[in-house]
Amino acid sequence: MPIAQAQALEDLLGGAALSKKAAALSLLLGPGAKLLRACDIPSPAARRDPIPTRVPALDRLLSGGLPRGGLVELSGRRSSGRFSIGISALAAATSRGEAAALVDLGGHLDPQAAEAAGVALARLFWVRPEKLKDAVASAEMLIATGFPLVIVDLGLAPVRGRCVPDAAWVRLERAARSRGTALLLLAPYRVSGIAAGAVVSAGAARAVWKGSGRSPRLLDGLAARLVLEKDARARTGVAESLALTVFATPASTLQPSARHPEPFARHPEPFTRHPEPLTRPEPFTRHPERSEGSRA
């Protein structure tokens, strides 16, 4: 190929030729539209450091954490620790200075509790869609924006909104792979089909009590079992134990309610009897100037 043609092709791939035309500039600056050279596309075999979730059981199953450029689906029923794992992953990413996004279809995020768990709210982008279709579209836009970590929580069963086709999940996985985004999908049951590179299921949680003998039992936490059902490296069937600990909330952090500014306070003045006992009224008497049967 002549040098002039090679230089023209290089300018085309780099966007230099398109930047001179206003109509063609939208191909470079439009939402989700960008030209990439083949050498700029990350290779699937390239080594990328995963994002740890600070949950030892899940990090061991995923060989260090959430893989960048991959889709991990975590399915589990109510009280299986599914959303707690998502909060832990958000805290791990934002504490390292990385931005993260949460697509909260179930509406389960409590900002005050998330901040207490270590989530830097200044680095968290919170999206609250109404339907499943909107949640998938929001996740795709967030990935195109460049967030290193995107978590999609579908809430409890049944998921709000009709099911999306499998092609939507495949497109979402390809977007995460091209952008190098770690995508974590939290669902009450399997929804991503063949798109997920790793699938982890959380079993039913059981209560863990603390105490022995005749002493009263106190709730110490919840225990569940994580099973790696699918992995791109064919490491299926591996299981780990998940433990969730209950932390007591300090009394200084409790905010009194507006209706009762001092909860559990006794009435300042105890009830006492009336100082003047009730007296009986005077008996009814007839009018002194009128008698029964008299006329006015």
**Average pLDDT of adjacent 10-residue blocks, the chain of 296 residues:** 66 58 53 52 63 90 91 88 91 94 92 94 94 92 94 85 82 93 92 90 76 74 79 64 53 44 46 54 55 48
The rounded distance, in Å, linking the Cα atoms of 86 and 81 is 9
Domain positions in the chain: 56-248
User: Residue 225 has what pLDDT?
Assistant: 80
- Tell me the pTM: 0.64
Q: Residues in the chain, how many?
A: 296
Per-residue tokens: 172: 């979402």
pLDDT at 278: 54
Token pair 């009730």 is at which residue? 278
* pLDDT of 73: 94
For the chain, the maximum distance between any two Cα atoms, rounded to a whole number of angstroms, is: 138
The per-residue pLDDT for 1 is: 57
Would you tell me which CATH number, out of the four given (3.40.50.720, 3.30.460.10, 3.10.129.10, 3.40.50.300), belongs to the domain 56-248? 3.40.50.300
Nearest-CA neighbor of 67 among 190, 177, 188? Answer: 177
Q: What is the pLDDT of residue 12?
A: 60
pLDDT of residue 44: 53
Position 263 scores a pLDDT of 45
